[in-house]
Amino acid sequence: MLSAAKKEFIEFMMSADVLRFGDFVTKSGRNTPYFVNTGNYKTGLQSAKLGDFYAAFIQETIGDQFDAMFGPAYKGIPLVTTTAGALARNYKIDKPYFFNRKEVKDHGEGGNTVGYQPKDGDRVIIIEDVITAGTAIRETMPILKGCADVNVTDMFISVNRCEVGKTPGKTAVMEVAEEFGIKVHALITVKDIYEYLKEQGTYDSILKSMETYMEQYCIFE
């Protein structure tokens, strides 16, 4: 059964043209009938609302049990910024945030991160959009460990696509948990999207494509 919060988030993503249906290719090269592109959020209201969704989810999942938030470039940058603002505004959880540059800056203060400078022992949470094959997190961890001896405890994403990663029989989320000890929390999963579309009763062809895709690539715990 879909919760009201999940339904609201799915409708929010669809209204912003962030959750789209059709023929797409994921970063891992898979042809998919649905795609999540957080780069399509482009208004102040959308950004503020997105931060509210993430902040509410973080607050109910881990509260203030972390030291800093990290947003991987590029899409994680606006996500971590709006989430940090919403946590402070809505829950009085005022935590520092930082993000990385794709190119190392060789002038001014230099370095390849912007914002908070993490310290050894800091508990860092990652704010991201989706995990498909776990490629982005494998690129992110060396950046974080290069800043300080941080403890990356949790990762918050919009959608868990529940897709098999590099290891047969395991999703990318399971691999991330085993490889890095990171708990991944998703506002919604592909199953939630499927259930939502089914409830609407007007998405028969998309549902068929999703069933085929999920059968091929998805693993549900």
* DSSP codes joined into one string, 109-160: T-EEEEE----TT-EEEEE-SEESSSHHHHHHHHHHHHHSS-EEEEEEEEEE
**pLDDT for res 105:** 56
Cα–Cα distance measured from residue 189 to residue 184, given in angstroms and rounded to the nearest whole number: 12
Which tokens in the block code for residue 35?
A: 């795609």
Instruction: Kindly report the number of other CB atoms within 10 A of residue 47's CB atom.
Output: 18
Please answer whether residues 203 and 210 qualify as being in contact, where contact means their C-beta atoms are separated by less than 8 angstroms.
no
Please answer whether residues 123 and 66 qualify as being in contact, where contact means their C-beta atoms are separated by less than 8 angstroms.
yes
**pLDDT for res 164:** 87
Active site residue 145: no
**pLDDT for res 104:** 62
**pLDDT for res 111:** 64
3-state DSSP call for residue 23?
strand
Quickly list H helices, the chain.
Answer: 4-15, 44-61, 76-91, 135-147, 172-180, 190-200, 204-217
Which tokens in the block code for residue 9?
A: 């988030």
Which tokens in the block code for residue 174?
A: 């399971």
> What is the β-pairing status of strands 151-160 and 130-131?
parallel
Annotated catalytic residue within 27, 42, 105, 166 = 105
Annotated catalytic residue within 6, 27, 95, 107 = 107
Per-residue pLDDT of the chain (221 residues; tens, 9 = 90+): 799 999 999 999 999 999 999 999 887 788 899 999 888 999 999 999 999 999 999 999 999 999 999 999 888 999 999 999 999 999 999 999 999 987 665 544 556 888 999 999 999 999 999 877 677 888 889 999 999 999 999 999 999 999 888 888 899 899 989 999 999 999 999 999 999 999 999 999 999 999 999 999 999 87
Cα–Cα distance measured from residue 91 to residue 44, given in angstroms and rounded to the nearest whole number: 20
Which tokens in the block code for residue 213?
A: 């895709």
Domains, the chain:
4-217 (3.40.50.2020)
Active site residue 185: no
User: Nearest-5° angle of CA 30, CA 13, CA 87?
Assistant: 115
